[in-house]
Amino acid sequence: MTSRYGRTLELGLSLVPTSADLPLHRELAARADELGLDLIGIQDHPYQWRFLDTFALIGDLLARTERVRLFPDVANLPLRPPAMLAKQAATLDVLSGGRFELGLGAGAFWEAIGAMGGPVRSAGEALRALEEAIGLIRAFWSGERTIAFAGEHYRVRGLHPGPPPAHPIEIWLGVGKPRGLALTGRLADGWVPSLSWATPSSSPS
């Protein structure tokens, strides 16, 4: 089915990666795969003591399923440098035969990010870092033998990225407000809204 926005309508579920619920996460992923759902998104809050690491859990669930695609909902960019994030994403995509997509966020809960050793950024800095990260990640996936990137927040030089993804990984941004939405329209493949700030009453008609 195609939506009014010109994209095929896909259905999935969202998981909160609580350690105590690991058997349930595995059961839900297997059931989603069996029923033919398209996507499973997993929250990424590394500073949350009750949570498993999102990327490790995605790897576990990809290994237990055959067709459903998984993505971080959304990856915490301040705690996951983009070159390493691109490497992890490409690896998971290769290992799963092309079943990984990348949800990416500028960051939130800055006190918790700072407590974990990450940078504490203003809203403007976070958005500029996100834009840089998208460029660096796409360069990493380009198939070029050597890449370089120089920005305000991220720099790489003489980097050999390694195996490219198994399929063209999409980048979906979990951002709001006009500047974030404009960035999504310019550079991203999709948008990941959250009911905490993108409520049905605030959606355009």
pLDDT confidence bin for 204, thresholds 50/70/90: very low
Going from the C-alpha of 52 to that of each of 86, 88, 157, 180, the distances in angstroms are 20, 16, 32, 28
Query: What is the per-residue pLDDT for 162?
Result: 87
Q: Residue 49: what pLDDT?
A: 97
For the cut 60, the answer to whether the pLDDT of residue 68 exceeds it is yes
Angstrom distance (rounded) from CA 113 to CA 95:
30
Per-residue DSSP letters for 21-84? GHHHHHHHHHHHHHHT--EEEE---TT-TTBPPHHHHHHHHHHT-SS-EEEETTEEGGGS-HHH
Task: Indicate the residue type of 114.
Answer: G
Give the lowest-confidence range in 3-7, 67-71, 121-125, 198-202: 198-202
Average pLDDT, the chain: 93
Q: What are the pLDDT digits (tens) for 8-22?
A: 889 999 999 999 999
Please give the average per-residue pLDDT across 5-10, as a whole number: 78
Establish whether the linkage from the previous residue to 175 is cis, with ω within 30° of 0. Answer: no
State pLDDT tens for residues 142-199: 999 999 999 999 999 999 998 999 999 999 999 988 999 999 999 999 999 876 645 5
pTM of the model: 0.92
Predicted confidence band of residue 66 (pLDDT cuts 50, 70, 90): very high
Q: What distance in Å separates the CA atoms of residue 132 and residue 156, rounded to the nearest whole number?
A: 12
Q: Which domains does the chain have, with CATH numbers?
A: 12-199 (3.20.20.30)
8 A C-beta contact, residue 61 and residue 89: no
Q: How does residue 125 score in pLDDT terms, banded at 50, 70 and 90?
A: very high
C-alpha separations of 16 from 21, 46, 131, 148 in Å: 9, 12, 26, 36
